[in-house]
Structure 1
Amino acid sequence: MSRPKTDMERRKQISVRGLAGVENVTDLKKNFNRHLHFTLVKDRNVSTPRDYYFALAHTVRDHLVGRWIRTQQYYYEKDPKRIYYLSLEFYMGRTLQNTMVNLGLQNACDEAIYQLGLDMEELEDIEEDAGLGNGGLGRLAACFLDSMATLGLAAYGYGIRYEFGIFNQKISNGWQVEEADDWLRYGNPWEKARPEYTIPVNFYGRVDHTPEGIKWVDTQVVLALPYDTPVPGYKNNTVNTMRLWSAKAPNEFKLEDFNVGGYIQAVLDRNLAENISRVLYPNDNFFEGKELRLKQEYFVVAATLQDVIRRFKSSKFGSRDPVRTTFDAFPDKVAIQLNDTHPALAIPELMRVLVDVEHLSWEKAWEVTNRTCAYTNHTVLPEALERWPVHLFELLLPRHLSIIYEINRRHLENVGKKYPGDHDRMRRMSLIEEGDPKRINMAHLCIVGAHAVNGVARIHSEILKKTVFKDFYENEPEKFQNKTNGITPRRWLVLCNSGLADIIAEKIGEDYICDLDQLKKLLAFVNDEGFIRAVAKVKQENKLKFSVYLEKEYKVKINPNSMFDVQVKRIHEYKRQLLNCLHIITMYNRIKKEPNKQYTPRTVMIGGKAAPGYHMAKLIIRLITAIGDVVNNDPVVGDRLKVIYLENYRVSLAEK
């Protein structure tokens, strides 16, 4: 539920949370007008609602900057162990309201915008979602960044700044239609480009064996330009960084191109390099072995590791020896978490840098790499596990292929010593799968190269140990752990359901917002009629407000007192939306068969996107919308059963 809009409701809510300071409100109004004038070069006569949103975003961002700089200064002074969370997806959603919540500015901003004669909800709705993820994997990455900042950990998120995020979903005649998500069209007030930290990333080429060591030569270079986004902790003055890389073509053109008329084409061909960060692959739990996808995976890994090593070397510890950096302490200062196998190339890339560039022995480099990297597995579905064709590596990353072969040789040597004569086990545990074509099993690479492997739920972690990675678990049981997925209560309770958050705070205080174990204190109020009524009242207000939204957006009038039956997630056969459809049909048939019987009214809402190439998932969407057409227009059923497909469900819709 987003914040109430009427003056009476707004002031009632502010009285619960504490009044906004008059000084704060005055400063916010002054800075809002300053940004409107100097940043956006507008006045109130010609400004649009979008201008007002940007003025507010810049005003709130001002409150981040000092904290952001001081946080990074503190990390430099204290030189803590740094966590680097590598993910091809960060499903951040909107930033404005989340930042106001975490900085404790929400009430003051509410009051300032109200006094300026503007509508806060209208301004919030203008912000584009940063939809740089498909679903759970990307949203988990976003929640972790929030939680690590709230815990005051020195953590960094590293990913790709996709020009086009997850597609916008339109439902046309019951079918899903995809539209490009041009989320950067109007600019992004939250990011800061850092061209001074631009990093070269190499592709293609060949491997040379020289007296000085192995060299990767004749490569094609793409530049990685970083954009930093602040990640504020909850009311603790910590502001961490998410750094997203954008691909840029280098500026060098061969002089002869000018003379033979190839200059224009050479400039146009820059797009080929810059396509690397153009678009997020819209597949969830499905492996698509495209060359561009492999480029994306190596691009983020190569740029990130150069950045990580640069920061390590420039830290107080890393810079103690002016002649040569010792990497003995690297794992004590650096933790690299691989969010699924997409950033698995961090393992051979770190080996390449340590062996070829820093000239460590293989054994030392492997010890450093293994102690530094950890791997999160997200799925056991065979179609989701990454298995890259060897010939693609040979073309795109020839040095990494040779490193993976050497990792595999040593790995199988160890397996052979432990299980002599068990050739079938060695085949199952190999990083290289024989066949036509030969493939590299990236999950196996992660397990062998990391010191820790975790699933994302207890049952999932057990399945990994007992089935998919059984051989690896038997070989090194100490590596396997569980980390059950969670969500940040800042966005998913305080922001999305502020009414509920407030009445909980009234009973047990606000500490639960950073420590959900505190919610156990609510057990003392399980029979408290006043508290039960307060919860029911908030729930009913939320349902009423959402009912109004549904009627406006979907032209379906529902019973706000009905049971809300919601299934929102990516559309997949294994996620059982089809089973849900059969249940809806069963309920419909029961009402039709015995229309005079008493039924609990139910509103079924299903939402989620189908991958554009996933025909069966698209058919399931069509079935749901067809069922809705029948059920919602049947006068016999009335408001006892309604079915609504939530179009283009995204993070910001959850805030409704």
Structure 2
Amino acid sequence: MSLTTAARSATEPHEPIRTGLSKDTLVQAFGDNLFYVQGRFREVASPYDLFMAAAFTVRDRMLELWIKSARTYKEKNSRTVAYLSAEFLIGPQLGLNMVKLGITEAAREAGKELDLDLEAILETEEEPGLGNGGLGRLAACYMDSLATLQIPAIGYGIRYEFGIFDQQIIDGWQVEKGDTWLRNGNPWEIHRPKICFPVGFGGHTEQHTDPAGITHTRWIPELVVNGVAYDTPIPGYGVNNVNLLRLWKSEAPESFDFQAFNTGNYYGAVHAKIEAETISKVLYPNDDPEVGKELRLKQQFFFVSCSLRDMIRLELSNTGTLEHFHKKFAIQLNDTHPSLAVAELMRLLVDEHLMNWEQAWDITRHACHFTNHTLLPEALETWPIELFGRLLPRHLEIIYQINQLFLDEVRVKFFEDDDRVRRLSLIDENNGRRVRMAHLAAVGSCAINGVAELHSELLKSTVMRDFHDMYPDRFHNVTNGVTPRRFMVLCNPRLARLITKVCGDNRWIRDLECLSALEPHADDSALHERWRAVKTAAKTDLSNWLGQETGIAPDPSSLFDIQAKRIHEYKRQHLNLLHVLALYEQIKNQGTDGIVPRTFIFGGKAAPGYTMAKLIIKLINAVGEVINHDPAVNGTLRVIFMPDFNVKRGQRLYPAADLSEQISLAGKEASGTGNMKFSMNGALTIGTLDGANVEIREEVGAENFFLFGMTAAEVQRRQAEGYDPYQIYSTNAQVKSLLDLIASGLFSHGDAGLFQPLVENLMYQDPFMVLADFHDYVECQRKVADAYGDPRHWTRMSILNVARIGKFSSDRAIQEYAERIWQVEPEPVSL
């Protein structure tokens, strides 16, 4: 008897095969999907066939809820959040969707009955590389929370065929490999070929006058591509609401030129298809060459235009008019990448739907909301006028008109302040004329928010000070948050079960403030024992995995000191590494007595063109190669670089961390979300007063946080006074010794020049003040070692970090957006 037949005979009288949640129904549904969708029987099924069958089984259970949600939102004309983001790092979906549907245990039982290794199936899933880092991880958390809070929402982005590169470490260097995440198919998405919009580029504009004497502008593009929708359901936890992530793929309107083929021009026959598909081919092309800049601008306009046209389609199908478009949609611009939405919505309303400028501007400004994610001036996007005008001639005209009207306002409000007019202009006239995308977003939005209290205050006093002076009521703060469904329940099930037992129920999964029920038990010795057992099990799992992946399996009893985030000088992985070298030097000179055994784990990717960040990765690996093989160290220190850090691998790190490194220079990190994920899983934080560290310390208690370093104000003051890192190098014997050690060639097989650029950068420039904070950092690390040597004290601190971390749920962040910025209400879905 076949697997499918056996399962059906056992379950035929019971719940529906496509929606039932019991173990028996899941057994039958899995067999049906393997046989009828994958076209495989068990004996020849590959691991990926098994994953696909499991994924389709879970997806079936979401589709009824998804369709019911869409119908409910349409019938009630619900106000809807349109979350526009160039990145969505949603991570693997199978395990998370099982958690949200509440079928994890039933699936495990079904797996046992079918003699399937569920963990192996989960491990088979490819991670969609639809983002670069924190921006995309945050967007994914927010989509999770929007559905969980029953808020109607559509996430809009790009279906990159090749996501962020896969990182390999070869001879200690980062090597980028193409991320072919779609090569085996994507079971979660549904192709919507009928939802397709033409998107133009280049060409010219023409003016014409209608019979009423009104002048209109028509854009005649040179190139037109189609944007086709691919939909992914995003279910909420413990509710019937399922929202939508709609990603756009670029295609040629006509993929094959038959005439060109017939005349022998074989390349020309498919040229349009190649040019069109390039737009959604790869995430964030290198924009050093001009062709890379052009492609990035095309990508941003492409997904913004498709998304706005889709919203207009939905509104017209429901109400037949666009007069209340801003009441239907709350458009959230996730950083500057979707800023073109302001100009494109104006074009669509004025040019295509013949609305007068004043009404269109009122709708646009009330529909759009802007989140700023950076304090680094170089990260605020600008585009050369020549490139912008060549690709988007009509939009440049619209931006000029917006700018003219806006600067007229500025001149009236700030009388005879020409410098302020120049600073606020949407066009930067310095060093070649450029369009300032953050300015466009700020002018065209009714709300502007930062992502941590410190970040929002610094925004108002630094990079967006003039806009705050102009529109103070537009500025808000919404501190970031992360979803406990993925970053606690899914990635740390042992801890989740323990928390539920201590708290008495699992309400904390939807209301993270309920974790406060742990606090009265912070001194309970029985809880301490179980808490440490959970952490040790997670560390053992990570150690075993690292042993297979890197050849180094660290001792789970050592302190796991982890820094996992994008590799960037401002995040100061090299400060962490200097502390590693300080311990190594101590061991070489004095032996291992008094050294708390530590495993230093680094993870993160450097941008392909970022030479200094890639050199830092090389140095981490080179230091590890020496320390890990030095008999004098005798296992007291281990240095490991986890390759290809992503959401999936992060889920291994967060539960296993003892110490979370959040050591960016104060005033540089907007918020951070890794700091929240580590703390939620019981890691203690060593960090500066930067980003959300400030609020995490306030919540968990100063006594449960290892603080070091200058404040943002002290950084600004020291920079203004003229920071001189060479003076520190020449007067601090330890700093000099460590930099000289790097320069000596010890970590480069005698090549004294290999790390010279990094050493000289620290000695003579040190833009992120590594040397200035080094002494304080080392002293703080001594306090870490002392605390770790007292297991009871450390465990108490760990419990209190989890008990007091409730503020940093993405549910709280979305609730604040909904109430203070979007004015949107929950829309519960009932079956």
TM (norm. structure 2) is 0.74
Does 2:609 correspond to 1:613?
yes
Q: Measure, in 1, the Cα distance between the counterparts of 2:352 and 2:271.
A: 33
Which of 197, 201, 214 is residue 217 of structure 2 equivalent to?
A: 214
- In the other structure, the counterpart of 1:165 is 163
Matched, 1:280 2:283: yes
Is it true that 1:368 corresponds to 2:366 in the alignment? Answer: no
How far is 1:264 from its partner?
Answer: 5.0
Shift of 1:233: 0.3
Counterpart of 1:34 in structure 2 is 32
> How many residues of Structure 1 are paired with residues of Structure 2 in the alignment?
628
1:487 is aligned to 2:490: no
- The 1:260/1:551 distance shift into structure 2, 3 A limit, reads closer
| Distance in 2 separating the partners of 1:147 and 1:23 | 23
Paired residue for 1:346? 341
> What is residue 147 of structure 2 aligned with on the other side?
149
Match for 1:455 among 450, 453, 463?
450
Q: Does 1:471 align with 2:466?
A: yes
Letter paired with 1:405 = Y
CA drift at 1:557: 3.2
3-state secondary structure, aligned to 2:82: strand
Corresponding residue number in structure 1 for 2:326: 331
Equivalent position to 1:594, from 572, 590, 593: 590
CA RMSD of aligned residues (A): 1.9
Aligned partner of 1:604 among 586, 597, 600: 600
The match for 1:93 is 91
- What residue is the counterpart of 1:553 in the other structure? 549
**Paired residue for 1:399, among 394, 401, 412?**
394
Distance 2:21 2:441 in 1: 53
The match for 2:311 among 302, 308, 318 is 308
- Please say if residues 525 and 531 of structure 1, whose CA atoms lie closer than 8 Å, have aligned partners that are also in contact: yes
Please tell me whether residue 357 in structure 1 is matched to residue 352 in structure 2: yes
Deviation, 1:326, is 4.5
Aligned counterpart for 1:43 among listed residues 22, 41, 44: 41
The equivalent residue for 1:24 is: 22
User: Of 417, 425, 429, which residue of structure 2 is paired with 1:430?
Assistant: 425
The SS at the match of 1:196 is: strand
Structure 2 residue 269 is the aligned partner of structure 1 residue 270: no
- Say which SS state the counterpart of residue 607 (structure 2) adopts: coil
Give the Å deviation of 1:522: 1.4
Letter in 2 for 1:227: Y
After superposition, residues 503-542 of structure 1 pair within 5 angstroms as: 503-508=498-503, 509-542=505-538
Once the two structures are TM-superposed, the CA of residue 436 in structure 1 deviates from its matched residue by 4.7
Measure how far apart 1:291 and its partner are: 0.4
1:573, distance to aligned residue in structure 2 (A): 0.7
> Are 2:251 and 1:248 aligned?
yes
Q: Structure 2: how far apart are the matches of 1:122 and 1:97? A: 12
- 1:225 alignment partner, one of 225, 228, 239: 228
> Corresponding residue for 1:110?
108
Q: Contact between 2:452 and 2:480, CA under 8 Å: does it hold in 1?
A: yes
**What amino acid does structure 1 have at the position aligned with 2:231?**
D
Q: Say if 1:554 and 1:264 are closer, same or farther in 2 by CA, change over 3 A.
A: closer
Question: CA offset at residue 204 of structure 1?
Answer: 1.0
Q: CA deviation at 1:261?
A: 3.9
Once the two structures are TM-superposed, the CA of residue 366 in structure 1 deviates from its matched residue by 0.7
Question: After the TM superposition, which of the residue ranges 595-604 and 456-465 deviates more from structure 2?
Answer: 595-604
Q: Distance in 1 between matches of 2:572 and 2:598?
A: 19
The gaps in structure 2 that reach 5 residues or longer are: 1-19, 211-215, 653-831
Secondary structure (helix, strand or coil) at the match of 1:610 reads coil
1:369-384 mapped onto 2 (5 Å cutoff): 369-384=364-379
What corresponds to 1:640 in structure 2? Answer: 636
2:246 corresponds to which letter in structure 1?
A: R
Aligned equivalent of 2:574? 578
Aligned to 1:12: none
Deviation at 1:284, TM superposition (A): 12
Question: In structure 2, which of residues 156, 174, 177 is the aligned counterpart of residue 176 of structure 1?
Answer: 174
Whether the 8 Å contact between 1:284 and 1:570 is mirrored in structure 2 is no
Q: Is the 8 A contact 1:94 1:129 kept in 2?
A: yes
Pick closer, same or farther for the CA change 1:255–1:526 going to 2, 3 Å: closer
Task: Report the Cα distance in structure 1 between the residues aligned to 2:371 and 2:77, rounded to whole angstroms.
Answer: 26
> Matches of 1:127 and 1:505 in 2, distance apart?
28
1:157–1:598: structure 2 CA closer, same or farther, 3 Å change rule?
same
2:131 matched to 1:133?
yes
**Residue in 2 aligned with 1:202?**
200
Return the alpha-carbon distance in structure 1 between the equivalents of residues 626 and 239 of structure 2.
Answer: 52
Summarize the Cα distance change of 1:418–1:56 in structure 2 as closer, same or farther, 3 Å threshold.
same
Report the CA distance between 1:435 and its aligned residue.
3.7
Deviation at 1:655, TM superposition (A): 2.6
Check whether the contact 1:134–1:282 (CA below 8 A) recurs between aligned residues. Answer: no
Q: How many angstroms apart in 2 are the aligned matches of 1:86 and 1:179?
A: 28
Shift in CA distance, 650/260, structure 1 to aligned 2, threshold 3 Å: same
SS of match in other structure, 1:132: coil
Partner of 2:816: none
Q: Is the 8 A contact 2:540 2:556 kept in 1?
A: yes
Residue identity matched to 1:641:
L
**CA separation of 1:156 and 1:464: change in aligned 2, threshold 3 A:** same
Q: What secondary structure does 2:180 align onto?
A: coil
**In structure 2, do the counterparts of structure 1 residues 200 and 567 end up closer, same or farther at CA, with 3 Å as the change threshold?**
same
Identity %: 49
Q: Distance in 2 between matches of 1:108 and 1:285?
A: 51
2: distance between equivalents of 1:595 and 1:291?
57
- Look up the SS of the partner of 1:231 in the other structure: strand
Q: Deviations over 1:234-253 (max 9, x none)?
A: 01011111000000001177
Q: Secondary structure at the match of 2:32?
A: helix
The answer for unaligned runs of 5 or more in structure 1 is 1-21, 320-324
CA contact (8 A) 1:134 1:283 kept: no
- What is aligned with 1:6? none
2: distance between equivalents of 1:412 and 1:276?
34
Deviation at residue 336 of structure 1 after TM alignment: 0.3
Alpha-carbon distance in 2 for matches of 1:503, 1:287: 54
- Secondary structure at the residue paired with 1:131? coil
Instruction: Check the 8 A contact 1:287/1:384 in 2, yes or no.
Output: no
What is residue 563 of structure 2 aligned with on the other side? 567
Task: State the distance in 2 between where 1:596 and 1:527 align.
Answer: 32
